[in-house]
Structure 1
Amino acid sequence: MAERDRDRDRPHPHQVQVHPQHRYEHLGAGAKSLLPRRGPSASQVVAVVTLLPVAGTLLALAGLTLAGSLIGLLVTTPLFIIFSPVIVPAAIAIGLAMTGFFTSGAFGLTGLTSFSWILNSFRQSSGSVPEMADQAKRRMADMAGYVGQKTKEGGQEIQSKPPEVGKTGTVRT
């Protein structure tokens, strides 16, 4: 038993374990290892030269906007505190009105989309709406004829049965 366990733990000749050899020579190269081996292409240089001023301008505008927003907030905070009994209910009313307006629009858009989808699915399934109406009328007429035939057969079956006489002597149908 111990020999079997030892045989299982030993690597078999057909099993090969490969350990990659890591070379750490590139760490000593410094910034050269981070740059590509060949230079950037002309299109990359043009893209960087073109986009750098645009990105810088947009970043500067974002900073100015943030600074302006903070200054405006610092100036208006005392006004918000003084007029808060009026501003808070007005903000709530405006918020609820806008929520209702957007919800109404969303429901209307959803309803129109649903009707459009249903109409398109009907058109694709059988051609057009008038043809579908004619087909529905035919189906209803066929069903009415079928129900009428079954009713007639049921009436004939009832008439062909002899009446049964109950224990009290009355005739049951």
Structure 2
Amino acid sequence: MADPQHQQRHPTQNLLQQKGGPSTSQVIAVVTLLPVGGVLLFLAGLTLAGSLIGLALTTPLFLIFSPVLVPAAITIGLAVLGFLSSGAFGVTALSSFSWIVNYFRQAKGPAKETMGFMRDRAKEAGQKVQDTARS
């Protein structure tokens, strides 16, 4: 049978069975955090109450002015959508132009070689025609 002194204990059991009670740092943490938590909870309740009162007061105004507010919101939404799509089209156009410029820059080297080759072939063909005409 295992010795009771060597049995493993859960860490919370060690805290609960400490001789001498909680440490000074634990007491200070509880003393400082309890009022802070209470104040924050109170402020959260005030904020909730203020939000509910504001909603109760403004709901009739929203219902009365909804024939104006709904079309205004739709108009503003469409305007924002137009500006965003305009910007997206502009960025797309700039990136397309950039791609085209880079493509032609890279294609310039092989094109020069091809043009030089074609020029040499044209000169040879012209020489052949001249030689044939002289003979």
The two structures have a TM-score, normalised by structure 2, of: 0.47
More helix by share: 2
Which of the pair has the greater relative contact order for Cα pairs under 8 Å at 6+ separation?
A: 2
